[in-house]
Amino acid sequence: MAWRRERNRVNPDWYGVLNIPRTATADEIQAAYRTLAKQYHPDTSASDSHAAMTQLNDAYAVLGDPQSRQQYDATFTP
């Protein structure tokens, strides 16, 4: 499950949350987010899907914005 791939709360692996490589394009990031959002949306999934959607939204907020992604990439250490 995608949200469980988060490394820790201080320095999460947003690429892992979306199951994409660090070399993913903007279109690939968006496609991964949409696919996982459909799967884990609270209206259509299990009771723990709220946590998954929160993680997905956080990951997309960082990786979906070019400036945020650049800052994240500069500071993230796998």
How much is the pLDDT for 60? 98
What CATH code is carried by the domain that includes residue 53? 1.10.287.110
Tens of pLDDT along 41-58?
888 776 677 888 999 999
The total number of structural domains that make up the chain:
1
How much is the pLDDT for 45? 72
Per residue in 24-33, is it b (16+ CB within 10 Å) or e — as a string?
beeeebeebb
- The pTM of this model reads 0.81
Give the rounded distance of the alpha carbon of 17 from its chain centre.
Answer: 4
For 41, the domain range is: 2-75
DSSP letter, residue 19: T
Residue 32 contacts residue 24 (beta carbons within 8 Å): yes
